[in-house]
């Protein structure tokens, strides 16, 4: 898990611009884990800094811990956004999947999609940002999610979590405990292992060959494939349930679409995944949930608004070709 490099009370009494901006890395990481979106995380951090610089110099100097103030403001903005997100999801077309992230050396933040960025803008990839982990976080209540991420991921004591959330330490402890039960029930894998890349590679090879039996052998019998097009890309609107159905559906995608898409093996949220490119542009990113030697979940993100960091595409570990179709 991610741990705090410094606590909210570790800042100097009169921080300069450099000290304040050095908090950006922590704020981006916190907001992405809470919201599951780089775009929204960037908006939160921008709003947080706007509120800081809206204060007078005297007001800024009166704040004992500027870093703690920034984290508190960012977390509260996220908490409000999480509450409103539930209403927005009711009008979202199809399933909503968290925004996928490439390897830090390959990805680009910012809305332009071109050029490099300061490393402080990057999200640290660890087990708390795997797609399986983020999907479970998204199923929590906003309060559970904030309490859990602040305490279990960023290691803030419950007293500080309580001050941020405006609740008692006991209430925050209970919220985090409930969140942990959700994670245990979902059996979220702890992190990467050496065999996952080989399983993804075998899946790609079997998919290219339209080998239904090989695909079934790689998929858990109760596997689920979920896609997110957001109404902006063609995809299945409901999850495909069962290894056999997924295998046949993906083989049909390859058969119908022919030879128009290049697949790249890459890192997606810290784990092996696939990126589908057409004419050099990433159109789908696939994340996998793997338990043992079987694929339990496939998350296919096709919504172009969630693929900004992938615009120039990841450096390929291996390539293959398969048809485009519906992912």
State how far the Cα of 287 lies from the Cα of 295, in Å rounded to an integer.
10
Tokens for 235, please give them.
């995809």
Percent of the chain with pLDDT over 90: 66
- Which residue, chain included where needed, has tokens 């590679």? 201
Q: If 0-12 CB within 10 Å is exposed, 13-18 middle and 19+ buried, where does residue 238 land?
A: exposed
Residue 301 to residue 36: CA distance in whole angstroms: 13
Here the contacts of 182-186 (C-beta below 8 Å, separation 24 or greater) are: 182/136, 182/139, 182/140, 182/144, 183/133, 183/136, 186/132, 186/136
- Per-residue pLDDT for 252 more than 70? yes
Q: What is the pLDDT of residue 194?
A: 77
Percent of the chain as helix, strand, coil, to the nearest 5 = 50, 15, 35
Contact 94, 229 (CB under 8 A): yes
The pLDDT of 34-52, averaged and rounded, is 95
Handedness of CA 197, 198, 200, 205 (dihedral sign): positive
Q: Where are the beta strands (DSSP E) in the chain?
A: 219-228, 240-241, 261-268, 271-278, 281-291, 294-301, 319-322
Q: Would the pLDDT of 109 be above 70?
A: no
CB-based contacts of 230: which residues, under 8 Å, 6+ apart?
Answer: 92, 93, 94, 96, 302, 303, 305, 306
Q: Is 37 helix (H, G, I), strand (E, B) or coil?
A: coil
The mean pLDDT of 287-315, rounded to a whole number, is 88
Q: What is the pLDDT of residue 108?
A: 44
Q: What whole-number distance in Å separates Cα of residue 292 and Cα of residue 174?
A: 32
Give the span between the Cα atoms of 277 and 273, in whole angstroms: 13
pLDDT category, 6, cuts 50, 70, 90?
A: very low
**pLDDT at position 154 over 90:** yes
* pLDDT at residue number 173: 98
Tokens of 10: 């570790």
| CATH (residue range 17-92+126-186) | 1.20.140
Q: Does 17-92+126-186 match 196-322 in CATH topology? A: no
Q: Does residue 321 register a pLDDT over 90?
A: no
Q: What is the pTM of this model?
A: 0.86
| Residue 5 pLDDT | 41
The mean pLDDT of 99-122, rounded to a whole number, is 57
pLDDT tens readout for residues 299-310: 999 999 999 888
Q: Per-residue pLDDT for 178 more than 90?
A: yes
- Burial string for 65-90 (b: 16+ CB within 10 Å, else e) reads bbbbbbbbbbbbbbbebbeebeeeee
Instruction: Give me the residues paired with residue 261 across strands.
Output: 322
Please tell me which residue, 320 or 21, carries the higher pLDDT value.
Answer: 21
Phi and psi (nearest 5°) for 238? -120, 150
Instruction: Evaluate whether 282 touches 251 at the Cβ level (below 8 Å).
Output: no
Nearest to 100 by CA among 30, 38, 149, 191: 38
Query: What DSSP state is assigned to residue 117?
Result: -
User: What is the DSSP pairing of strand 240-241 with strand 219-228?
Assistant: antiparallel
Query: Which tokens belong to 185?
Result: 């029930």
Residue 136 binned pLDDT confidence (cut-offs 50, 70, 90) = very high
Nearest to 268 by CA among 251, 286, 281, 256: 286
Average pLDDT over the chain reads 86
Q: Which sequence spans correspond to the domains of the chain?
A: 17-92+126-186, 196-322
CATH architecture assignment, domain 196-322: Roll (3.10)
Structure tokens given for 307: 């693929």
């Amino acid at each position: 898990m991610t741990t705090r490099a410094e606590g909210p009370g570790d800042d100097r009494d009169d921080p300069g611009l450099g000290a304040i901006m050095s908090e950006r890395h922590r704020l981006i990481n916190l907001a992405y884990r809470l919201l599951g979106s780089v775009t929204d995380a960037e908006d939160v951090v921008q709003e947080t800094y706007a509120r800081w610089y809206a204060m007078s110099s005297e007001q800024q100097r009166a704040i004992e811990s500027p870093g703690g103030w920034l984290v508190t403001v960012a977390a509260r903005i996220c908490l409000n956004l999480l509450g409103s997100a539930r209403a927005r999801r009711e009008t979202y077309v199809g399933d909503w999947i968290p925004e996928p992230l490439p390897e830090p050396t390959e990805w680009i933040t910012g809305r332009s999609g071109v050029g490099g960025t300061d490393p402080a803008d990057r999200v640290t990839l660890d087990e708390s940002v795997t797609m399986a982990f983020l999907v479970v976080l998204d199923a929590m209540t906003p309060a559970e999610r904030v309490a859990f991420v602040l305490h279990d991921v960023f290691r803030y004591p419950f007293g500080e979590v309580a001050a941020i959330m405006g609740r008692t330490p006991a209430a925050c402890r209970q919220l985090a405990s409930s969140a942990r039960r959700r994670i245990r029930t979902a059996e979220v894998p702890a992190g990467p292992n050496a065999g996952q890349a080989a399983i993804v590679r075998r899946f790609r090879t079997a998919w290219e060959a339209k080998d239904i039996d090989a695909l079934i052998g790689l998929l858990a019998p109760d596997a689920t494939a979920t896609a997110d097009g957001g109404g902006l890309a063609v995809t299945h609107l409901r999850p495909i349930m069962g290894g056999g159905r997924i295998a046949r559906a993906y083989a049909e995608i390859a058969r119908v679409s022919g030879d128009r898409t290049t697949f790249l093996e890459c890192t997606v949220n810290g784990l092996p995944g696939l990126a589908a490119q057409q004419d050099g542009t990433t159109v789908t990113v696939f994340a996998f949930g793997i338990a043992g030697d079987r694929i339990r979940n496939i998350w296919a993100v096709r919504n172009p608004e969630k693929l900004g960091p992938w615009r120039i595409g990841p450096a390929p570990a291996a390539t293959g070709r398969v048809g485009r179709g519906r992912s």
